[in-house]
Chain A
């Protein structure tokens, strides 16, 4: 498999706004270190999952890859082209191939636009639409490919006339219309009811096969991640702590945090209960990140080394990467 996207030591720090007085007094500038040195690759035709609890930096990572927020540091390559060094015009051109789907289909579609105009908008932005009838034909095809058939029934309606699942399908159609190679899907099903979720996930899987798409799947839900992802990385406080094939990471996690995270997930099987969760407390703020291993204050196995030295992400088994002193 060929590499599609490579992320190298990506960082995004957000400055913390200071009060008037402290800015006069010139105190130290603090940062929210949302993404703090993340590296991974996404291969062609792959669904790569980025999972973790709220505030771990998964969404910011996706946005920084697409340069919807400017990275503070680090490089992102798309098919060998360094996205992080492109100017605006060049960036717009390659964005044809890089699309994003957002979490909330109630917010990501303009309520005053018709579905056909929403789906056609990327064509106009990119100046590749052709005539109105050509555009409508492409919109119809895109709607068909996301299962909104017959397309004429949906094109001339407004978002509020559709259900949540149908809206998310419209958002996917809009992402597909430029025939992208890569889609970042940021919690695409977490706002939807469970009977609808499976349909959207299956659609993503089918589109991957049909169009040879690759996805970055951002989620806090490890059960859906296990369902769709080929490989997965688990983030904690702005860093990847474990990475590998989705099924092996979720079935046999190695990092103490990932173990606790997966043990915590309840299952629909009444005979399987959540076991003991040995870790303490809650995730600290990304402004004041603990020294050494970021997880050490909550880790039941932490040693003196963990308190001072940050563990690098290393390959501990074939294709399995973990950032933990106990395992390397």
Chain B
């Protein structure tokens, strides 16, 4: 059962005097109920922009050019801003933005910051909100007595737990976590990932985890969408995509990642660099870096096609 379906969504940023940056360009993905989707790709591929589009949290120069986002079948792009704020954002879909733990207000107690978030979105009094924050702290493995701590009194891992508590404050159905462990050391990262996975299962949540680190997705996600230059190039169950990647870009990425627990093998890099999205290459956006590229790849854009095994791939060389 799909919880969220993103249909042909386009979102471009306007750069004054230069044109439009095609950050999210005709993206189709979905997240099942109680499932975890990993959104992977290198910096600038549009993964964070896609999340901000779903949350309608775009900067003034970001504009949605079409498509729909269905939540339980209802098109949430059709809602008014007021309805979206009241019914969707934080209530149904919440987000742990990138670097959010460093964006906590340093002069306000951590608990009070979460109480504020609850009071804005829910029809409860302050006492009830405070009670809920203590419960949330317990849920994410923090001592409930630390609700009165200031951000600087908490370690990085504890602050990230508090951010997770804040994201869960209004019992959402979907949590979008953008690079939730990037600033953390590896042992703390492992603990936070285990917490996210555990909460996702216990609370029957859907999760979109955004990261550049393919290993994190393999650790806690069920399916994966690989993005390149504003497009999804491959989408499917993690085991399928990781063990038999079909798109040349996915193959390239996986060949570039060392495995600490596997045999040492020669890594391969992908030549070149991602394109400028002000004027992406014609045809397949990966074609200038692709060793399998043929004439058609530079002319015609490959559609995202469903294969027999259930995955989707956008490549002229796959499936025929």
- Interface residue ranges, A against B (CB under 8 Å): 53-54, 163, 165-166, 193-202, 220, 222-224, 226-227, 247, 250, 260-274, 277, 279, 282-283
CB distance from A305 to the nearest CB of B (A): 24
Interface presence of B218 (CB below 8 A): yes
Asked if B218 and A165 make an inter-chain contact with CB atoms under 8 angstroms apart, the answer reads no
Contacts of B260 in A (CB 8 A): 222-223, 226, 250, 262, 265, 267
Interface mask (B67-107 → A, CB under 8 Å = 1, otherwise 0): 00000000000000000000000000000000000000000
Q: Which of B187, B189, B259 interacts with A260 by CB under 8 Å?
A: B187
Closest CB-CB distance, B99 to chain A, in whole Å? Answer: 16
Contacting pair A279 B194 (CB below 8 A): no
Asked whether any CB of chain A lies closer than 8 Å to the CB of B243, the reply is: yes
B267 with A261: CB separation less than 8 A: no
* Chain A residues, Cβ within 8 Å of B238: 270
Q: Which of B11-19, B165-173, B209-217 contacts A (4 or more CB under 8 A)?
A: B209-217
CB–CB A198/B267 < 8 A? yes
Shortest A81–chain B CB gap in Å is: 34
Confirm or deny: B155 has a beta carbon within 8 angstroms of a beta carbon on chain A.
yes
Q: Is B268 touching A268 in the complex (CB atoms < 8 A)?
A: no
Chain A to chain B: the 6 pairs with minimum beta-carbon distance, closest first: A199-B269, A264-B190, A198-B267, A195-B270, A266-B219, A198-B269
Which of B43, B257, B273 is in CB contact (< 8 Å) with A268?
A: B257
Contact (A274, B253) CB under 8 Å given A226-B258, A261-B186, A265-B261: no
Q: How many angstroms between the C-alpha atoms of A266 and B189 in the bound complex?
A: 9
Chain B 262-294 interface 0/1 with A at a Cβ cutoff of 8 Å (1 = within) = 101011111101100000000000000000000
Interface string of B14-48 (1 = CB under 8 A from A): 00000000000000000000000000001100000
Interface residues of B in 188-240 (CB under 8 A from A): 188-191, 193-194, 212-216, 218-219, 238-239
A300 to chain B minimum Cβ distance, whole angstroms, is 13
Q: Which residues of A contact B243 (CB under 8 A)?
A: 270
Verify A194–B190 contact, CB threshold 8 A. Answer: no
CB <8 Å contact, A269 and B256: no
Q: In the docked arrangement, what's the CA distance between A224 and B239, Å? A: 23
Q: Taking beta carbons and an 8 Å cutoff, which residues of B are in contact with A?
A: 42-43, 155-157, 185-191, 193-194, 212-216, 218-219, 238-239, 242-243, 252-262, 264, 266-271, 273-274
The answer to whether A227 and B267 touch (CB under 8 A), given A195-B256, A220-B186, is yes
Distance between A272 CB and nearest chain B CB, rounded to angstroms:
5
B268 proximity list for chain A (CB < 8 A):
198
**In the docked arrangement, what's the CA distance between A271 and B237, Å?**
13
Measured between alpha carbons, how far is A247 from B262 in the docked complex, in Å? Answer: 10
A223 and B259 CA atoms in complex are apart in Å by 6
Q: Is the CB of B242 within 8 A of A195?
A: no
Are A268 and B242 touching (Cβ within 8 A)?
yes
* Contact B269–A195 (Cβ < 8 Å): yes
- In the complex formed, the residue of B with least CB distance to A52 is B185
B189 and A267 form a contact (CB under 8 A): no
* Chain B residue with Cβ nearest A163: B273
- CB-CB under 8 A from B186, the residues of chain A are 53, 220, 222, 261, 264-265
**Are B258 and A274 touching (Cβ within 8 A)?**
no
User: Is the CB–CB distance between A282 and B239 below 8 Å?
Assistant: no
B155 and A165 contact, CB distance less than 8 A: no
B219–A273 touching, CB < 8 Å: yes
Query: Provided the pairs A270-B218, A282-B155 are in contact, do residues A227 and B188 lie with their beta carbons within 8 angstroms?
Result: no
Contacts of A201 in B (CB 8 A): 267
With both beta carbons as reference points, the residue of chain A lying nearest to B266 in the complex is identified as A202
Inter-subunit contact B42/A268 (CB<8 Å) = no
A244 to chain B, nearest CB (A): 16
Least CB separation from B216: chain A residue? A266
